[in-house]
Each structure stands twice: as C-alpha cells, then as structure tokens.
Amino acid sequence: AQLDTLDLVVLAVLLLGTIAYFTKGTYWAVAKDPYGDSLAHTNGAAKKGKSRNIIEKLGRAGKTAWFSMAHRPTMVADLEDYDYENLDTFPSDKVAFFVLATYGEGEPTDNAVDFYEFIHAEEPSFSGEGDGEKPLSNFKFVAFGLGNNTYEHYNSMVRNVNKAFEALGATRIGAAGEGDDGAGTMEEDFLAWKEPMWAALAESMGLEEREAVYEPVFDVVERPDMDPEEDQVYLGEPNKNHLEGTSKGPYNANNPYIAPIAESREIFTAKDRNCLHMEIDLSGSNLSYTTGDHVAVWPTNAGKEVDRFLNITGLAPKRHTVISVKGLDPTAKVPFPSPTTYDAAVRYHMEICAPVSRQFVSTIAQFAPNDEIKAEMTKIGNDKEYFHETVIERSLNIAQLLEIMSNGEPWSKVPFSLFIEGIHKIQPRYYSISSSSLVQKDKVSVTAVVESTHKPNAPHIVKGVTTNYLLALKQKQHGDPDPDPHGLNYALDGPRNKYDGIHVPVHPIIMVGPGTGVAPFRGFVQERAAQARAGEKVGKTVLFFGCRRRTEDFLYEKDWEQWKQDLGDSFELHTAFSREGPNKVYVQHKLQENAKEINELLQQKAYFYVCGDASNMAREVNSLLAKIIAEQRGLPESKGEDIVKAMRAANQYQEDVW
C-alpha cells in the first residue's frame, strides 16, 4: 500500500480495514502481520485474551486527539480485533479513520466482514449507552477507500460504509476519499484527498497546525554486546520455530514452508527473455492444493540492492551489528522479528526495491546530508510533476534516489526507524499453480516470467525481485555454484544456510473457485488428460493462448501436443501470435473467429476463465464476450453485457488477472 501513515500520526484513531493490497486488485489481501504470532512484542492488535474493547484501549493508551498533549496520538487497529457494539460510546473528542479496501465483486476484505455485516444489520445492536438521537450521533469518522476502476464495484466498500455510518447518525469529516489502483494513482489520489480533509479536520476539532517534528515510531538499539551468530538473533528466519530449527506446520503467511525445488527449467526459447517452470516439492509439509490454486513465494532481496541500501545509508560498516527493535508505543508493531541485524532486516524483510512514495521523499528530506540536497528533496516531495519526472519516470528505488541526490555521499543522519516506517514490509508474490493436483499431489509447478523492464528515461533496467531470485535458484540447480544473474547476487543459502540444497519459502493461498492463464490452464488440461487416460469422460476444453512468436514464447508446446493425444476432440487449442505476421493477432481475434462455438458452449453452461494481464486483455475479453453473446443470440449489446455480469455473479465467468 502506498499509504504513508506518517502523515496520519497527528490524528486520533486509525481503524484500518486493510492497508495491504495487490496490484491491479484481483486479489485484495488482508493486511495481517506475517509474523503476528511469532514476535515477542506484538502488542498492536488485540490478540486472544486481550481486550476487544476499543474505547477501553484508547483510554489505556492515553490516546487523545490533541496532538500537543501526547507523544503519538494515534492508535492503529485491525477491524477484526475489536467489537463494534460500543461505537455509540466512542468519545466525541476522537476521530476514527477507516481505510477500506474493496475485494473481488465489491466485497469487504476478510477482516472487515464482521464489521461490515454489523453496521449493515437492520438494527445494529449497539450497547445503547450513547446519548444521541441516533446511535452514532457522537461518532466522527474519516474514510478512504482502496479500489480499482477496472472492476464494476469500484470502491464500493468505502461508499457503502460511508452510507451506513451516515444513516446511523455519524459525522464524516472531509470527503470520503477513493484511491484507484487500476489507474495506478493510489498515492496521488490519497495525497489530493488528504489536504482538504486535513483542513476540515482541523476546523471540526479545533486543531492548530504546527510543523511536524519527526518522532520515531520504533526504538532501534544497537547491541555491540551480542554476536550475530548467537542462537537468539534472527538472521532472516521468519519466526521462532524457524530460528530454533523446529519449523512445523500449519504453514501459512505467518509461517512459510521452506520448500525444496525439485526441478526447474527455462521454457522460453528467446535469448533475451526468461520464463521459468519450477516444480516445488510439498511432500512432508502436509500442504495440499487443488488445481487452479495459487502459491505464494517469499523473495529475498538481491545482494547488489542490499549493498546499495546499506552503503548509501551509511550502515554498511555495521551491517552485521545486532539490533533490538521495539515499538515506542504499545500499538506500533515491528514488522520483523528482533533481535536481528541491519543486513538481515534489509535483505529479508524490507521491500527496498519497490517504487518510492512521494510522501516518503518529503519526510526523509529533513535528514539530507546538507541543505542543498534537503531543498531539492523537499521540492521533489512537494511537486507532483517534478516527482514523476525525477523519480517515477526513472524507476528509482529508495537507495538509487538517495545515491543520485547526494552523489553517493551517505545519508547517515536518517534514523533507521524512519526506514522501517517508510519502506513496506516485503510481500510474498503469488503464482497461479500450473500443475494438476490429481496428477502431482505433492508438487506444485509455477510458470513465472522473469521481470525485466526498462523505461525510456530510466538509467537502469528494473529487475523483478522474486523472479530474478528464482532465476538464480534455477541457475544454481543447473550447476552454477555461485549464480549471479545480472550481478544481482542473491543469498541463496538463506539465513544460517537453512535454504541450502535449493529451497524457497512458500505458503499456499486459495482463491474462491478455481483460479485460472496459461499457468492454471496447464493444470486444468493436465488434469483432464489424466482423467481421459484413466478412461473417464471429460468435458470439452477450449484454450485460447497468446504470445509473441511460436518459436520464442509458446509455453508448454510439447505438453499441449501430448495432452491433445490423450484428449482428442475434447481439447482444442487456439493460438494467437502477436509478432509473427504483418498484423498483430491477439486472443481477442481468435475469440471473435470462434464466436459461434463459444456461444454454443456457453449455452451448455461452459465455464469461462480468463487469466493474465488485467489492464488490457481481461477488460477487452470481457466486453468482447458480451458482444459475441449479443451478436450470436440476436440481442442488443447491453443485454450481452447483462449476461456476462450474471455469468460473473454465478462464477461461470472467472478471472485470475494481475
């Protein structure tokens, strides 16, 4: 999430629906601390046995809306950690902030379901102690939504919650903001919404603005008395069991499984691009999957980028110094286990290669090595266009930006706490499983294109973190003792050599209904071919596959041929090669050519799956299908659109797009 809470710390209460989300929004994840259960001081959310009474918690933590009085007058909370019955007694001198993501077909994220149902009940059962006419007459709130305009129910969570609150008598301060990940403007939408909201808040609460002085959220203490090799120091292990070498299931986002890679190979024939097929072994983990599921892979940052970061921040000489990190306030969660080292925190836990947020540039400016650099950084932070030109267009990550700004002079004045606050916690990447659980129950395969993108004005090529890490693993598996794709130099052995023998940390995720692209489709077809070989009757499968050239990136060509032999007429493959002929041919063209058959199959209740690029392909396929249905059935186009909508609602049309 591009939301920087730094600016919100002068406010009263943050009730976060969710702040983490995945690009393009197909899969809106719940922001849970992956280390939630393993940390010594996870004092943020109310855990089992802790109070679910937010009013009580607010009082205890001494939180107040008056920022002149308190050190950090905010509290961040996960909606699912608290009860809602007493919101009618929410103090009128406090403000609740809601940051709400919309998931799938306009639904709340998992952690917001109870809350959403509660406030939408016919008569929400408030404790009844409030003294207003309507239950929430004293309740003040601010709301911002995280959505994606390529979806029909754009930002419906924030819209609906806003409506429900107003109906219950609550007072909203400022406009209900809407961030659009579809247009890639999430941070800018947030910044544009924030200014007027801020003014409204100041007016409503009688607040006075004053220059924000940086107050660290975390206390980072160096421990020269400790040796990094001591047993209790985390060198990248995600939790205590991993640290102690007693890792055990259940495996989930808090507890990844360090899975052996059974097999890996390159499946593009083009020399300048890579696509990896990897078989990840789950046997012994007790993990199971269903054809069409996803697997999450936890990356490690490239050594080159870790070095860059530690050099420019002046931390390189003490990279292996042990540090203890704790929240300075009971609601601040440390995003990695401690004690650890600077090296391990940066390498395994911080998303240092991601694009930089404009707010972070503004905040870090005050710690520039000299006033000239400070002035330039402040300018970049304040000017949307200039920021775009100097940072975004050049694809700079934070360390690259700092390097360029100071000409390599270390930024040693920046408190490490600020980096922990301003850089996101590293996120796992999701891959559609491209194997069938029927055929290989203990091994999932993934099909991953190695990310390598170059913007015209960028001084360098951006190398995807996870996919280049996987590429290095593949190279190691194929005999290179010290793979170094593009000089990136990954620590493949993992913390304390725990990944040695070619392992990757993974955890499973399951989407509603079968997931779907050529990755999941490979699994579907593989499964159906196995069923056919076993003499079972299988339904018709029609696959539309597109790529650049048959000779370069036609994935799994041999597999399709094999499965065609197993499936006979039950399997049809239509290929679209965009760069072979004079005209570009895409899957959309092939769909149009086969309109009649598609319509007939849909009338027989065929399922329609779309997988791959969300921004163009998926949207075009959606409208094309509506057109095909309308044409074939002699209906107006709007009716075709309604039919596709109904198919979506009935899960007959499913997307797995990113």
CB of 321 to ligand FAD, least distance (A): 27
CB-based closest residue to ligand FAD: 464
CB of 275 to ligand FAD, least distance (A): 8
Please tell me the distance from the alpha carbon of residue 549 to that of residue 112, in angstroms, as a whole number.
45
Amino acid at 143: A
CB of 297 to ligand FAD, least distance (A): 8
Q: Which is nearer to ligand FAD, 147 or 640 (CB)?
A: 147
Positive or negative torsion for Cα 622, 628, 629, 635 = positive
Instruction: Note if the bond before 636 is cis, omega within 30 degrees.
Output: no
CA 43 to chain centroid, in Å, comes to 23
CB of 32 to ligand FAD, least distance (A): 17
CB of 294 to ligand FAD, least distance (A): 5
Determine the 3-state secondary structure of 231 from DSSP. coil
Please tell me the distance from the alpha carbon of residue 595 to that of residue 189, in angstroms, as a whole number.
40
Q: Which is nearer to ligand FAD, 325 or 364 (CB)?
A: 364
Binding site for ligand FAD (CB under 6 A): 22, 26-27, 294, 299, 353-355, 395-397, 429-432, 447-449, 451, 453, 462, 464-467, 517, 519, 656, 658
Q: Which is nearer to ligand FAD, 299 or 339 (CB)?
A: 299
Q: Which is nearer to ligand FAD, 243 or 262 (CB)?
A: 262
CA dihedral 564, 568, 569, 570 (to 10 degrees): -70
Q: Which is nearer to ligand FAD, 448 or 504 (CB)?
A: 448
Question: Where in 362-465 does DSSP place strands (E)?
Answer: 429-432, 443-449, 452-453, 462-463
CA dihedral 428, 432, 437, 440 (to 10 degrees): -80
Instruction: Note if the bond before 250 is cis, omega within 30 degrees.
Output: yes
What are the tokens at 127?
């404790």
Q: Which is nearer to ligand FAD, 75 or 275 (CB)?
A: 275
In angstroms, the Cα distances linking 201 to 95, 143, 158, 173, 207 are: 9, 12, 18, 6, 8
Burial category of 376 from C-beta neighbours within 10 Å (exposed 0-12, middle 13-18, buried 19 and up): middle
CB of 446 to ligand FAD, least distance (A): 6
Please tell me the distance from the alpha carbon of residue 567 to that of residue 158, in angstroms, as a whole number.
47
Q: Which is nearer to ligand FAD, 193 or 309 (CB)?
A: 309
Task: List the beta bridge partners of residue 508.
Answer: 295
CB of 433 to ligand FAD, least distance (A): 8
Q: Which is nearer to ligand FAD, 332 or 426 (CB)?
A: 426
CB of 22 to ligand FAD, least distance (A): 5
CB of 431 to ligand FAD, least distance (A): 5
The owner of tokens 């603005």 is: 209
Determine contact, residues 455/304, Cβ cutoff 8 Å.
no
Consecutive H or E run containing 358: helix 358-365
Burial category of 500 from C-beta neighbours within 10 Å (exposed 0-12, middle 13-18, buried 19 and up): exposed
CB of 465 to ligand FAD, least distance (A): 4
Strand order of the β-sheet with 294-297 is: 429-432, 294-297, 503-509, 257-266, 275-281, 443-449
Q: Which is nearer to ligand FAD, 145 or 428 (CB)?
A: 428
Consecutive H or E run containing 259: strand 257-266
Consecutive H or E run containing 98: strand 95-103
Listing DSSP states for 582-649 in one string gives SS---HHHHHHHTHHHHHHHHHTT--EEEEE-IIIIIHHHHHHHHHHHHHHHT--HHHHHHHHHHHHH
Q: Which is nearer to ligand FAD, 98 or 556 (CB)?
A: 556
Q: Which residues are catalytic?
A: 432, 611, 656, 658
Listing DSSP states for 147-210 in one string gives E-TTSTTTTHHHHHHHHHHHHTT-EE-S--EEEETTTT-HHHHHHHHHHHHHHHHHHHHT----
Determine contact, residues 319/325, Cβ cutoff 8 Å.
no
Sort strands 462-463 and 452-453 into parallel, antiparallel or unpaired: antiparallel
CB of 408 to ligand FAD, least distance (A): 19
Please tell me the distance from the alpha carbon of residue 263 to that of residue 443, in angstroms, as a whole number.
10
Q: Which is nearer to ligand FAD, 114 or 451 (CB)?
A: 451
